[in-house]
Amino acid sequence: MSGGIVTLVIVLALVAGGVWLARQRAEARRRELADAESEARRWVERLGGSVLNLEGTDEASKQALADAAERYTAAGSQLDRAHTPAQYRQVTESAYEGLYYVRAARTAMGLDPGPELPPLPGQRQAGAVTEARDVDVRGHQYSASPNPSDRNAHYYPGGTVAGRPVPAGWYSEPWWKTALVAGAWGVGSFLLFDALFSGMSGAAYADGFADAQALDAGDAGNADSGNGGDFFGDGGAADGGGFDMFGGNDGGFF
């Protein structure tokens, strides 16, 4: 009889312990979700205040603030749909990116850029533009600079776009946006990366495009294949699945 009682007590203790552990885990998940949501809302509100209280004074600052406003809109939309800690962290990263554009706008206007921000994914790996450079790639002019100017009025905070690092800096046009929308780079993308960044200290491609491990075998293998047309032939531009490689409606390269 006493043995049965002992067994019952052990079973009840195990059940109680299991219930307590389940409640602790549920409470930890609830706190994690609440903390992630609070953090996301805090950064989105900070971005919104910065966007609403600044007005650009030149082309570079106006463009940077327009990009910041776009990230604010995107972060707000993500926030409305977020239901998990990972989704709230994505909202926070969108707000970070927007605030990098705000810092760029303030820099362009000669203002204090404000406090440092947490790094974006891939930002450190991408590096930064450290010298002014103008290049001609298949008859199209591109330039990059560590500082804003009338020529280089498009800022990118640095990070990974479609799996490849794009250095932080000011550019003559936002050539990375096509890959951002499409989710992939075109076959000829290595030409611009190599021309703009090869040998540039501090950039991801300082030692060449291939050395940065950003050109995958698919790009190299398809360059001379019949898939997607002749990108480098006498015909000039080719339509690679809807994106004009060398010029076109958007003046894009990818």
Contacts of 219 (CB under 8 A, 6+ apart): 185, 187, 189, 190
Residue at 192 is within a domain: yes
**135 and 58 in one domain?**
no
CB atoms closer than 10 angstroms to residue 190: 21
Range of the domain at 24: 2-108
Q: What is the pLDDT of residue 22?
A: 81
Within a domain: residue 223?
yes
pLDDT digits (tens, 9 = 90+) for 80-113: 999 999 999 999 999 999 999 999 999 999 999 9
* Same domain (yes/no): 56, 153: no
Residue carrying the six token digits 């910041």: 68
Tens of pLDDT, residue by residue over 154-172, are 999 999 999 999 999 999 9
Domain match, 163 and 62 both? no
Provide, rounded to the nearest whole percent, the portion of the chain with pLDDT above 70.
80
Q: How far apart are CA 97 and CA 147, in angstroms?
A: 18
Question: What's residue 208's pLDDT?
Answer: 66
Q: Has this prediction a pTM greater than 0.85?
A: no
- Residue that is written with structure tokens 């076109």 in the block: 248
In a domain, 252, yes or no: no
102 vs 209: CA distance, rounded Å:
30
Q: Are residues 129 and 102 in the same domain?
A: no
If one counts the domains in the chain, the total is 2
| Predicted pLDDT at 105 | 97
Quick one: 127 and 237 in the same domain? yes
Phi, psi of 167 (to 5 degrees): -65, 150
Query: 187-226 pLDDT, tens per residue?
Result: 778 889 999 999 999 998 877 655 444 444 334 343 333 3
Q: What percent of the chain has pLDDT over 90?
A: 60
